[in-house]
Amino acid sequence: MPIPANHPQRFQLTNEVHARPYANIYVPARASHLAILLTPEEKAEDREALNALCERYLIPPPAADVDHFNGEFGSFQLRWEQHSEFTTYTFYTEGSCTDPFSETALRSVPDAWLESLPGQLIVAAHAGMMCCKYKGKSADERQPVDLDVISPMFEGNTLIGSGVAGGDASAFTDFRIHADGFSRILVIDHNFHSSRQAGRLLHRLFEIEVYRMMALLAFPVARKMLPELNKRDKRLVDITSLMSKNESDNPARCPAALLDELTELATEVENSLSSSHFRLGAAQAYIELVNKRIEDLREVRTPGLQTFREFMDRRLAPAMNTCHSVNLRQKSLSKRIAQAGQLLRTRVDVELERQNQSLLESMDKRAQLQLRLQETVEGLSVAAITYYSVSLVGYLAKAGKAAGLPLKPDLVMGISIPIIAGILIFGVRLIRKKVKVAHAKIDE
């Protein structure tokens, strides 16, 4: 068709909304989910491990620039996703699911390969998907799920669960790590309409567990920061209280010393903010994802059980509120320190201006004294020069008299005194005037 040329990223952007497709799961099925924290260096090792698994099963590995992969590995299916902080592996097997937590999907995966995975495990979960004997019947014809049958699968722990997908299934968990090191999720299919729906639901349940744990990584950080935050808050109160007192004579409590202490406190707070900003900010993002995934479950209450929403509101929300509170307190403390620093710097500037004013006044007094001294010296200089000049005139008059001129030396000397003194005074004033003009030009 005669249409304009494609934008270079047209196909990439179009396909972005179809990235990370959900797995097709035909119930009954089992799944095992691993979430592994990775450093930037370990991400490359993780991709190498995935490529090694693909090579072992003669499956083309994912391209180097993709961060998700779905593949059929004979006895199991694999879904791999690489995120900014962690990587997830989900293994699926289909078939009988009478005891989903003893014969798990992970048993089909080579042990040696699992041991080669880099990073630190943050989530490990087994899931079983079972068909309800009333599958396909209307909601009115179904019998409630027998919790006494399900509870032993979770070793008698308190169950959390509800109807999900608008009642098409039920999901149960206890949010505990069992003796095998894995948490457990059970899904009962009442009336799934497609294999994609089953895959989508299971993926959301796994994401709730992963994002919950990732959000909780911030809780120890926030709890550790609280004592230091309280100490810094008290230090700021002490500094601001000293600012209101006029103790300039005390070197330890003068404005300059308080400003140094306040600057040190500001540095500590900013360092704390920088080191915790990412973790606390990420916690907020992860908890929003948890809430969104729970909302996507479309829960229907199961009598006698806490829903996923109620459990998170009761158990997770307080920890997240603590993290949020610490983050807000840190930012508020930083702003308060900045405001106190501004006030203290203003006070220091005022003190400096006062000192400068006093210095200028003292310099002005010294200049006046120097002027008076200069005028005195000028007067003495005129007198001395007049004395010596008159003496020279006297010698000249005596010499003229000796030469036969009709001169009286004493009279000549007396007449020369006012003449010489006047000439000298006029000359001194002329020089002073020229100096003032030169200084005025320099000042301009």
Give the per-residue pLDDT at 321. Answer: 94
Q: How far apart, in Å, are the Cα atoms of 361 and each of 365, 367, 373?
A: 6, 10, 18
Locate tokens 């008059």: which residue? Answer: 397
Give the per-residue pLDDT at 166. Answer: 86
- Report cis status (omega within 30 of 0) of the bond before 40: no
Q: How many residues does the chain have?
A: 444
C-alpha to C-alpha distance for 225 and 219, rounded to whole angstroms: 10
3-state helix, strand, coil in the chain (%, to 5): 60, 15, 25
C-alpha to C-alpha distance for 184 and 124, rounded to whole angstroms: 9
- Say how far residue 235 (Cα) sits from the centre of its chain: 22
Segment-wise mean pLDDT, segments of 10 residues, the chain, 444 residues: 81 72 85 95 94 94 88 92 94 83 90 94 94 65 78 91 90 94 93 86 95 95 92 89 67 74 89 90 94 94 92 92 92 90 79 79 78 70 78 81 78 81 79 72 66
For residue 320 the two structure tokens come to 């997240």
- Residue among 271, 205, 201, 217 nearest 85 (CA): 217
Give the per-residue pLDDT at 78. Answer: 94
Quick one: which H or E segment has residue 92?
strand 86-94
For residue 202 the two structure tokens come to 């299971």
C-alpha to C-alpha distance for 299 and 163, rounded to whole angstroms: 5
Domain boundaries defined on the chain = 19-194, 218-358, 371-443
For residue 434 the two structure tokens come to 């020229």
Angle between helix 317-402 and helix 255-297 axes, rounded to 10 deg = 150
Question: pTM (2 decimals)?
Answer: 0.76
| The domain defined by 218-358 carries CATH number 2.30.30 | no
Give the per-residue pLDDT at 253. Answer: 66
